[in-house]
Structure 1
Amino acid sequence: MASVEANLQEMLTCQICFDSYTLDPPKHPKALPCLHTFCLSCLEQFQGHTSVECPSCRRSHEIPKDGFHTHFHFLSLLDTPARKSTLVQPMVRQKLQLENKCVIHGLSVGRNDDVIAVRGRTIQIYDAKFGLKDTLRLKQYIASATLMSDAMLVIKETASSTLKILNMKGDYQGSINNPKFSKSMTVANGGCNKLVIVKQNMVLYLESTDNIQWVEKACIQQSFFQLMYQHKFFEAPWYATVNSKGILIVSDHHRHCIRGLNKQGTDVFCYMKNETSLDNPGDENPESKLHWPRGICVDVQDYIIVADHMNQQVALLSPKGDFIRYLLTKQDGVRFPRSVVVNNNGQLIVGDDWGQVFVVEYRKYTDMV
């Protein structure tokens, strides 16, 4: 789950061109009657038309003679003092052992700073200080889970191709079905009521206006990548995330790589191991270190954080997929890191296969006047 700052940045970004709104008229936020908001320059492409179809909810709206209204609340948010962040030497602020040594398969952070840990067939909810608040028990093992912006959990169970929607009390709220679903897929929060489904040979985008009825928004099929990737997008896409620009970032476990794809299915970057690295474990080149990557997330600046599982370390990559530094290593006590998330204070939370949790500070935040 993205931090509050990341959510604000996403909200103040046009979902057509992915440029940030500004106080200058060309990038003013304009609200459609359905309340979805886009920049003026993108909506101007409909000049001469009598109506426009909202790119988000697909509702049709008549274009007023004087144009759509400016979203003044969004404009006021642009005047809000921002926080500047700089990378600093990573420091482990907290290390603790959860109730047992069960693997921490996934981590999310709610708007109220609650930490949600997926562990086997259970979902544990902790407060910001890791006091256990609740435990939700499911009948099947959880293969993938993501927390949506309305505090709803979307669950993919191991033996099922149907996605379940649960509230934070564990109450069943509905399900999501699609003929393209399979038992081997992972789910990610795409932002703005979008859900991304990742399979070996397909990336499927779903969208909802009421968080129960999900409709297919876009689908990138395997044929797009046939020649380059031998009939598969990915070998083992176990974890995925989406940055503020809509770039899908997937950790491919078996191919030992991190790939970024835009919404057209074009590769934006690929960070991967050196082919000789597994035979030369002493090689200190960071590019040769990635081995069975697992959990992946992005921070408020779209920097990428990946759990390098077998090398027992957590790496920080630039938004373009270039290696920067390690944030956590075996020397810090981490044992086979599997899940990562950035909390609302900009701190990294890491869960490993021994049921340990690490809170790492790697950015310094200051208010910009």
Structure 2
Amino acid sequence: MARSQAQDVIRCQYCEDEPAVFHCVPCGDELCPRCKVFHLKSKVPSGHNIVRLSERLHPTNQIKMCEVHSCKAYEACCEDCQVPVCITCIQEEHGKHAIGKLQDMYEKQKAETENELTKMKTQYKSEIIQRIKDFKNGESGIKTSHKFIREKMKKQAQDFIDHINTILKEALDESSKDERETLKEISQYTAEMESFEQNMDQLIEKFETLTESSHPTDLILYRKRNPDTFKRLKFPVKINLTMPSFTIGEMKKSQNEHQFGKFIRGQLSHLKSSDDSLRVYDQSRSSNVKPSIKKVSRRSVKLSETKTQKRELYNVSCGDDRSAYISGNGPGIQLIDRSETELDNISTDGQPSGLAVMKDGSLIYSEYINKVIYRVSLNKQTTKLINTEYNPTGLCCTRSCDILVCMGLLYTARVVKYSSSGRMIQEFRTDQNGEGIFINPRFVCENVNDDICVSDSNNKLVVLNKSGNLRFKYDGKVLKQTLEEKFDPRGVTTDSLGHILIADSANNAVHLISQNGDFLCYILTKDDGISRPRGISVDKHDNLWLVEEKTACVKVYQYLS
């Protein structure tokens, strides 16, 4: 290589007069424009690859020697074996194989690697970061909940102070032990997530090096030797945290442990993800997580069945653990219990399109045609509560005693939140991008995490957070299973564990999904004898009340044990 000692300029290797502008990759020669023309006319087995001199140090323009035949350079790729090869490799081992360009295979595998890298950097890493954040926040929630529970225990114990000291001590010890064990499990799970994040960071760094600064053959060889690196990247099992609670018992002289109350442990439950890429990473490390005291039964048990005088039934709303309000075609609302007894009959001017029981025990109902929501007080006085702009359908009462109302159709479709006095508080109509969320919202309920669950006529269950941002849509499709008919969500309700229950009228089924939208099971199907379920409601004991549209039957099921 000729250089000017005065200016240290790279000179043409042939004429040694002109500055070199080009570089021949196979030959390693530096050329001026004039000598480049003559150089291209020379015959070499591998041909010439002329690049700008400034590009000669790029990884794709460097010579990489064959690992098997050290005196030969990699010049092509075997498409059958997916490895780089030299001339001797082709002659000795790959003569009958399909041979392609090294650059073509590099570009293909680079694109695949960059796609996997992007998924790890965005979807996977953000998921891990969010899980770690949620569980770190969960520690304070566990401490606060247990502190609140212990205060309730102490207050309850004042009425039993003469004979309850032993039971109180056992209950406090149980709470403290559960707190320690739960916090330990959270710490272990957080450490597991952080360890997984570190491992993924190392893999991200490796993939970035292979795609940005390494020789093409390094990536190809790495992929050959580690073909399943990305596929083996499995998330640790997802954990759902349920806060502990304490139920107060009745004061009697016997069965002291039930009089004082029952401590219900918090829950760290494994959630099976519907995304196949989020598979179990290491179940053994989480095998000591305690199951919830309440769990979904293998088969739901029918507790009662009542045939009403209505031609059709549409709505049901539980007043307490023994009774529920129902309505159907035509005016009137009935209050019935599980023993087929009609406890009350409320007259209405029009046909109710939605029912909900307020915290104080009063009833609210909507009339679609009149665009009015009425309130029936405990002394049976009916008053007009809200005049709505659009035709109202489903109603629910939130834990903060506000009212959620479904109304409108197509471009006017929305869910509106009102105060208990009828003042409009908030309107949910469009998503973060300004697109309409609903087509025809029909039923609505609030979950234990303040999410708003709405069944829509576009074959979707729509779930928003309390701010109105879209969390997810559930379309009723379970893995590769196909429903006999399109998913037709009608009544929707939630239970004390945060499960979402959806009546699927067209398929004669009730879906049970998690509060994150993961399908868990069908708690009822046509094999259980249900037909065209319409309205559903869960009472204080987590029993499911269901009304069938065409048979006008009210059925009550126990699905948790």
TM-score (norm 2): 0.46
Q: Which amino acid counterpart does residue 144 of structure 1 have in structure 2?
A: G
- Cα shift at 1:225: 4.9
**Correspondence 1:218 to 2:426:** yes
CA distance in 1, matches of 2:460, 2:501: 13
Count of aligned positions? 283
Q: Contact (CA 8 Å) 2:314, 2:328: kept in 1 or not?
A: yes
Selected match of 2:531 from 331, 335, 339: 335
Q: Superposed, which structure 2 residues align to 1:116-135 within 5 Å?
A: 116-120=325-329, 121-135=331-345
Q: Once the two structures are superposed, what CA deviation does each residue of 1:278-303 show, in whole Å capped at 9, x if it has no partner?
A: xxxxx971678652210010011010
- Cα shift at 1:241: 0.4
Q: Which amino acid counterpart does residue 300 of structure 2 have in structure 1?
A: M
**Correspondence 1:349 to 2:530:** no
Q: Which has the larger radius of gyration?
A: 2
In structure 1, the residue matched to 2:263 is 82
**Correspondence 1:236 to 2:443:** no
Q: Contact (CA 8 Å) 1:348, 1:360: kept in 2 or not?
A: yes
Q: Superposed, which structure 2 residues align to 1:85-234 within 5 Å?
A: 85-100=294-309, 102-111=311-320, 113-120=322-329, 121-167=331-377, 170-177=380-387, 181-200=389-408, 201-208=413-420, 213-222=421-430, 224-227=432-435, 232-234=436-438
Could you say what secondary structure the match of 1:85 adopts?
A: coil
Moved more, 259-268 or 79-88: 79-88
- Cα shift at 1:85: 0.7
Q: Which amino acid counterpart does residue 263 of structure 2 have in structure 1?
A: A
TM-score (norm 1): 0.68
CA distance in 2, matches of 1:203, 1:259: 11
CA distance in 1, matches of 2:304, 2:386: 37
Could you say what secondary structure the match of 2:322 adopts?
A: coil
In structure 2, the residue matched to 1:22 is 145
Which has the bigger relative contact order, CA under 8 A and spacing at least 6? Answer: 1
Q: Contact (CA 8 Å) 1:272, 1:287: kept in 2 or not?
A: no
Moved more, 325-334 or 127-136: 127-136
CA distance in 2, matches of 1:219, 1:204: 4
Selected match of 2:514 from 318, 330, 335: 318
The alpha-carbon distance between structure 1 residues 149 and 184, as it changes in their structure 2 partners (threshold 3 A), is closer
CA distance in 1, matches of 2:522, 2:246: 38
Moved more, 157-166 or 294-303: 157-166
In structure 2, the residue matched to 1:363 is 560
Q: Once the two structures are superposed, what CA deviation does each residue of 1:331-361 show, in whole Å capped at 9, x if it has no partner?
A: 2221100011112222112110111222222
Q: Contact (CA 8 Å) 2:367, 2:373: kept in 1 or not?
A: yes
Moved more, 81-90 or 311-320: 81-90
CA distance in 2, matches of 1:362, 1:197: 28
CA distance in 2, matches of 1:193, 1:237: 21
Q: Superposed, which structure 2 residues align to 1:22-41 within 5 Å?
A: 22-24=145-147
Q: Contact (CA 8 Å) 2:246, 2:261: kept in 1 or not?
A: no
CA distance in 1, matches of 2:305, 2:484: 30
Selected match of 1:299 from 484, 492, 495: 495
- Cα shift at 1:113: 2.3
Q: Contact (CA 8 Å) 1:315, 1:326: kept in 2 or not?
A: yes
Q: Which amino acid counterpart does residue 216 of structure 1 have in structure 2?
A: M
CA distance in 2, matches of 1:75, 1:348: 22
CA distance in 2, matches of 1:99, 1:24: 47
The alpha-carbon distance between structure 1 residues 284 and 169, as it changes in their structure 2 partners (threshold 3 A), is farther
Could you say what secondary structure the match of 2:308 adopts?
A: coil
In structure 2, the residue matched to 1:268 is 471
- Cα shift at 1:223: 7.0
Q: Which consecutive residues of structure 2, in runs of 5 or more, have no partner in the other structure?
A: 1-139, 153-244, 249-259, 265-292
CA distance in 2, matches of 1:323, 1:288: 17
The alpha-carbon distance between structure 1 residues 168 and 102, as it changes in their structure 2 partners (threshold 3 A), is farther
CA distance in 1, matches of 2:335, 2:392: 26
Q: Contact (CA 8 Å) 1:273, 1:288: kept in 2 or not?
A: no
Return the structure number with greater strand share: 1
Q: Which consecutive residues of structure 1, in runs of 5 or more, have no partner in the other structure?
A: 1-17, 30-73, 278-282, 365-369
Identity score, percent: 20
Selected match of 1:249 from 450, 453, 464: 453
- Cα shift at 1:80: 5.0
CA distance in 1, matches of 2:521, 2:247: 37
Q: Once the two structures are superposed, what CA deviation does each residue of 1:65-85 show, in whole Å capped at 9, x if it has no partner?
A: xxxxxxxxx9997x9533421
The alpha-carbon distance between structure 1 residues 24 and 91, as it changes in their structure 2 partners (threshold 3 A), is closer
- Cα shift at 1:169: 5.9
CA distance in 2, matches of 1:268, 1:288: 27
Q: Once the two structures are superposed, what CA deviation does each residue of 1:119-146 show, in whole Å capped at 9, x if it has no partner?
A: 2222111124331112223121111121
CA distance in 2, matches of 1:322, 1:223: 21
Q: Once the two structures are superposed, what CA deviation does each residue of 1:252-311 show, in whole Å capped at 9, x if it has no partner?
A: 12x11111101222111211045xx9xxxxx97167865221001001101011110011
